[in-house]
Structure 1
Amino acid sequence: MTSASHHDNIDVNPASSVHSRASYDADREPEEGRLRVTLDQATDDGHDHDPEKPALHAPPKLSTLRSVGLIATCTTAMILNSSNNTAIAIALPTIGDDLGIPEYRLQWVISAYSLGSGCLLLFFGRLADLYGRKKAFLSGIFVLGVFGLGCGFTHDEITLDVLRGFQGLGAAACIPASLGILAHSFPPSRLRSIAFATFAAGAPVGAAIGSAIGGVLTQLTDKTWRSTFWFLTGISALTFVGGALSFDKDQPSSETDRRIDWLGAFLVTSGLVLLVFALSDGSVAPNEWNTPYIIATLILGPLLLLAYVAWEHFLERQVDAGSTSRWTPPPVMRVSLWTRAHGKLAVTFVIAMLEYSSFMSFTFWIQLYYQDYEHLNPVLTMVRILPMFVTGVLCNIIVALFVGHVPLVYLVAFGTTLTGVANILFAVINPASPYWAFGFPAAIVSVFGADFVFASGTLFVAKVCLPHEQSVGGAMFQTMTQLGAAFGLAITTIVYDSELKKASLADGVVVNVDGTNAPRRAQLVAYKDAFWAAFALGIFGTLLSLVFLRGAGIVGHRKGMDGRSTTSGETVRDEKAQRDMEEKDEVES
């Protein structure tokens, strides 16, 4: 696989990253000029990006069996990641009764996992790129399984939350490694599109499978919720074996300087931990969002993240200027990564955050609606959201077929719109109507956004990231989805709580801490407003895609005219020719 296999032109801000043998785009006005670094040029970071030359450690051609095994293993890891949230979420009422956890603290069984996974994705992605993606994947799956096994034997709230946090660390290691492995193993071709589409389908499919597994095992087994953890541990063991057998041996990184930016890792991890903690705990803190430690973490978290960006920008300038020292290691993530493709990559990150804010809020509130408002048991709740699994599989097929033919903007806009439609259906739901009127169509269309955005988004990341940045780029994308989930739940919970209190007061009731004495009418009003908030988050992503992703082009790949997959060099040349034609049309228009 050539080191150009992930790139066409990479647009970076000249103030943030200076590469040798680069030239300004002469077709643009001076004030709009950006430093363009093409793949047939070598940069000064020690990496050769010539599309006509093989990479130093090109992957061997995989057999059909190995390819299927590799894709299946990476996809199973994504399914495990999603299932470890939804399978436990549907069992939360049972866990609370068994361990004596108050309802307002139950969310920490889920939030602890998100804290562990979402806050260390970038750091573990960097480690995977430097020291081996197979090692990172296997280590992550091992940690995920071992601590999941321990969760099944816990008898108190604190131990369960701590073990769930360690489970999240395992997910943080294996998910970025999976993206890097897929990008490295499959050069630009239709097979790469299929691989990424299948991997992306693991998120919504895992969410649906997790709900099904959690509902059935919690209600029908003697060990109830504990059986769910043990079952997922078994799947983790099978995934570990699959990775050990199907993944190629790790090759040395092409980077000559493999030092770790420990300060950057500390700043980004601490900032994300504080921010996600505040978003997760703000609605259940003693004084809710006015609680002093919530205010402090909401201020300190973003400040640490700003310090991280400033530090990484400084390190990037030092590296590009060739003035590195023992105090200036390579950055965890180049800040200029966000400027790639004229900033379209940054917009893609933001859209991913908004989409997962909407989608994860939808999956959270429909489960509460069915169980707490409709008073359905976990199995009946699972049956009502099961169509999401079927749609997830179909979305995988659709993305694989069309991602090489349809521009990114249409895939993203179409998907985010359908997730918004799912939220609207519950925002206007009539509880007296049959399931087929509102619940069924909502379950069908809700998955499109998550699947389309993740599949096309990760393909776009793989396209504009350098070979040695694949895991970091994937980690950044995944971090934005995790932040989106926390942000969406925080916003919709604020809306729900506010409307529940307001509607209850209108009926002459002051709700208690758990909201269990709220009138039924007030509950319905609060649920509907939460879905309206989730709709607003998703549709904002649609608007961003329509405005800023125009011209992003097609991110997938098709077979060549002779029936074989295009090679890396052919892909780069074809994309360059297409881009030149597009720019010529822009000038003429």
Structure 2
Amino acid sequence: MDTSNAGELKKTPSEKEDVKSDPPSQLPTPPTRSAFKSILLVVTMTLGMMVNTAGSTSITMTLPTIGKEFHLQENELQWLVSAYPLSSGCLLLVFGRVADLYGRKKVFLCGSLFLAIFTLACSFQHDVISLDIIRGIQGIGSAAIVPASLGILADAFPPSRARSLAFATFSAGAPLGGVVGSVVGGILTQYTAKTWRAPFYLMTGLTVLCFVGSLISIDPDVPSCDPDKRIDWLGAFSVTAGLVLIVFVLSQGELAPRKWATPYIIALIILGVLLLVLFVIWQQYLEKVQDDPNAVHSALTPPPLIKPSLWKRGEGRFAAMMIIGFVNWAAFLAWIFWVQLYFQNYLQLSVIQSVVRFLPMVVSGLLCNTFVGIMAARVPVIYLTAIGTGATAVACLLFALINPGASYWAFTFPASVISVMGADFVFSTGTLFIAKVSMPHEQSVAGALFLTMNQLGTALGVATTTVVFNRVDLHRHGRDGIVSYKAAQWTAFAFGVLGTLLSILFFRGVGPAGFREPIDKPETLNGDEERTMTLDSNQDIKVRSKEVPNLNR
């Protein structure tokens, strides 16, 4: 077993307990793969991630155009952005579990085909309600692609520098997809006869390309090592319904007839919270049943969708990384959402003029992900997450203080350069960290949980800042409308600062997330042997396994 991939996580004495893996009879050896096929695999998975993120951001540059065509106010455009990440984020856990159990390649192929169909369907809608609905359905395909991608990469690349580069490249797809989606979406909207419909045609073509690439590059599925292949559908329903209701209320609270005092708004928020509480209690019960050898198992007690104990990994740092990803994407996507509306609706810039102002993000994103790919094994987690979230927070701060009459180089340029650093650093480091602390059969579902938090952060960030914008705009009493945009950015700034504080609080003393060369030669675990896995110079954790020839898989 390669001990280097355990990272620099420190364990307290209470955590130095046996970590039992499920007892598969034999974990298959990864198939031999040529360098070309490995590169094609990484490119295909990265393209899938780009398509996923571009699905959220390509529409942002088209919002003013859609608003004019359908005669909509700014607060009525929110669901065009939120519907996609909401459905995607709420279903990631379910598809992550399905991918781990029944085949990641199958799930990826089905998801990409589904996404292509409904992305194309978006371009044929002629009213905002139907477009909102199709956008929500479109997100289901994304929910299948992304967790399967994480499991495919973790399975194809055992702990090594190649894995660090593969994950860093894959992670680059998120911010690059966001930036490219905005830039290309803006250009197509400005210069094509189909205006806002043209970006959907492009996204459809890229998704089809992703489908073809996956047919060629992904290794055949291997049987899951999990002995119990049932899915917790009750948990899946409760967490999905609860999250949908809560985000719906956040987005509709300001639009309801009596705003937050509207009876159905109050009822739905209570129901959403109760469903999430039920989900947590149910998951704890299922994990307790699964861990108890004397418990009576039945069809009503499948393995939990996500083990509550997973959140405690690494002295709670697993949970901390989830929250950091959540607040960072809340800040980043809210920043993009309000900046492009500020450019087009307040400054009255054209779409292409707005796009040009986002171009520094492309270069910055490429440089940041190149840095992570090379330095992931050398730079401690705290530097990447704290600097990344802090940079995104500063970008929001610059627009919260912006002077509309100032030069582009004073506020907009530096904000564009540093805004993407949080998305790049946190996503890349987070996916490596999650893969490191998760067991082989948990890779897709653990990655799905991290992506769920990112997607929900997107929906919550846009929803929360929209509430603030509306309230300030309602009470500005003749003051310049810039105050409403600034208020939204102050809210996004608060999300970024929270991410920075969590990074400093939880990741002090934690080493790099990337692979490091092992000091000792890896050993094989057979029978019921027990060995020590070194985490740093003076901490260790015992690992027990039954008939596991190689836990690097």
Name the TM-score, length of structure 2 as normaliser: 0.91
* Partner-residue secondary structure (3-state), 1:550: coil
1:552 aligns to 2:495 (yes or no): no
Q: CA deviation at 1:8?
A: 6.5
| Residues 376 and 568 of structure 1, relative CA distance in 2, 3 Å threshold | farther
Distance 1:124 1:210, change over 3 A: same
Q: CA deviation at 1:290?
A: 2.8
TM superposition shift of 1:89: 1.5
1:264 Cα deviation from its structure 2 partner: 1.0
Q: Does 1:525 align with 2:483?
A: yes
User: Which of 315, 321, 328 is the matching residue for 2:292?
Assistant: 321
User: Is residue 2:552 matched to residue 1:581?
Assistant: no
1:175 aligns with 2:143: no
Matches within 5 A, 1:41-440: 42-43=20-21, 45-47=22-24, 56-322=27-293, 323=295, 324-440=297-413
Q: Counterparts of 1:152 and 1:87 in 2: how far apart (Å)?
A: 13
**C-alpha contact (below 8 Å) 1:462/1:470 kept by paired residues:** yes
Deviates more, 1:289-298 or 1:110-119: 289-298
Unaligned runs of 5+ in 2: 542-553
Count of matched residue pairs: 535
User: Can you give the 5+ residue segments of structure 1 that lack an aligned partner in the other structure?
Assistant: 12-24, 49-54, 508-518, 585-589
Q: Which moved more, 1:524-533 or 1:236-245?
A: 524-533
Matched to 2:227, the amino acid is T
Residues 355, 257 of structure 1: alpha-carbon distance in 2 compared, 3 angstrom cutoff = same
**Could you give the per-residue CA deviations for residues 497-553 of structure 1, whole angstroms, max 9, x where no partner exists?**
2222332x2x3xxxxxxxxxxx5x2x1122122212211111111111111122332
1:186–1:98: structure 2 CA closer, same or farther, 3 Å change rule? same
Counterpart position of 2:449: 476
Distance in 2 (CA, whole Å) between partners of 1:134 and 1:224 is 35
Q: Give the direction of change, closer, same or farther, for the CA distance of 1:532–1:493 in structure 2 (3 Å limit).
A: same
Matched-pair contact (CA < 8 Å) for 1:496–1:526? yes
1:78-109 Cα deviation digits (max 9, x unpaired): 11111112111211222233344454322222
Indicate how the Cα distance of structure 1 residues 583 and 468 shifts in structure 2: closer, same or farther if over 3 A, else same: closer
Q: Secondary structure at the match of 1:117?
A: helix
Q: Give how far 1:561 is off.
A: 9.1
Residues 10 and 36 in structure 1, CA contact (< 8 A), matched pair in contact too: no
Structure 2 counterpart of 1:587: none
**Deviation by residue 1:396-454 (Cα, 9 ceiling, x = unmatched):** 10111211001111111111111111111111111111111110110000011111111
Cα distance, 1:102–1:547 mapped onto 2, change above 3 Å: closer
Q: Are 1:6 and 1:467, in contact at CA under 8 Å, matched by a contact in 2?
A: no
The residue number in structure 2 matching 1:538 is 496
**Contact preservation (8 Å) 2:3, 2:522:** no
8 Å contact kept, 2:397–2:490: yes
Contact 1:409/1:550 (<8 A) preserved? yes
CA distance in 2, matches of 1:338, 1:548: 13
Separation (CA, whole Å) in 2 of partners of 1:296 and 1:477: 29
Aligned-partner SS, 2:534: helix
8 Å contact kept, 1:188–1:568: no
Q: Answer whether contact 2:247 2:463 (CA < 8 A) is retained.
A: no
| Equivalent residue, structure 1, for 2:548 | none
Deviation at 1:222, TM superposition (A): 1.0
Measure the CA separation in 2 of the matches of 1:576 and 1:188.
Answer: 14
Q: Distance in 1 between matches of 2:519 and 2:319?
A: 33
Give, in whole Å, the separation in 2 of the partners of 1:103 and 1:362.
15
Classify the secondary structure of the residue corresponding to 2:230: coil
Q: Distance in 1 between matches of 2:172 and 2:255?
A: 33
Q: Quickly say closer, same or farther: Cα 1:561–1:391, change in 2 above 3 A.
A: farther
User: Match for 1:581: what amino acid?
Assistant: N
Residue 80 of structure 2 aligns to which amino acid in structure 1? V
Amino acid at match of 2:538: M
Shift of 1:158: 2.6
What secondary structure does 2:302 align onto? coil
Q: Is the 8 A contact 1:3 1:467 kept in 2?
A: no
The 8 Å contact of residues 351 and 541 in structure 1, kept in 2 or not, is answered as: yes
Question: In the superposition, relative to structure 1, how do residues 559 and 542 fare at CA in structure 2: closer, same or farther (>3 Å)?
Answer: same
Secondary structure of 1:581 counterpart: coil
Cα drift, residue 232 of structure 1: 0.8
SS class of match (1:405): coil
CA contact (8 A) 1:4 1:466 kept: no
SS in 1 for 2:17: strand
Task: State the one-letter code of the partner of 1:376.
Answer: L
Q: Is the 8 A contact 1:3 1:466 kept in 2?
A: no
Taking a change above 3 Å as real, the CA distance of residues 222 and 364 of structure 1, as seen in their structure-2 partners, is: same
| Identity within the alignment, % | 49
Whether the 8 Å contact between 1:268 and 1:308 is mirrored in structure 2 is yes
Counterpart residue number, 1:515: none
Aligned to 1:36: 17
Contact persistence 2:384–2:425 (CA under 8 A) = yes
Letter of the structure 2 residue corresponding to residue 385 of structure 1: F
CA distance in 2, matches of 1:105, 1:406: 43
Aligned-pair CA distance for 1:297? 2.0
Distance of 2:485 and 2:100 partners within structure 1: 43
Q: Is the 8 A contact 2:185 2:199 kept in 1?
A: yes
CA RMSD of aligned residues (A): 2.5
Tell me the distance in 1 between the aligned counterparts of 2:382 and 2:374. Answer: 16
Cα distance in 1 for partners of 2:326, 2:67 equals 30
Asked if 2 retains the 8 angstrom alpha-carbon contact of 1:73 and 1:243, the reply is yes
Q: Distance in 1 between matches of 2:361 and 2:395?
A: 11
Q: Deviations over 1:443-469 (max 9, x none)?
A: 000011111111111111101111111
SS of equivalent to 2:430: helix
Question: Does the 8 A contact of 1:188 with 1:567 survive in 2?
Answer: no
Alignment CA distance shift 1:431-1:132 (3 Å):
same
Give SS of 1:454's match: helix
Cα displacement (A) at 1:47: 4.3
Letter in 1 for 2:18: V
| TM-score (norm: length of structure 1) | 0.86
Deviations 1:250-269 (A, max 9, x none): 11111111111111111111
Deviation (angstroms), 1:127: 0.5
Q: State the partner residue of 1:464.
A: 437
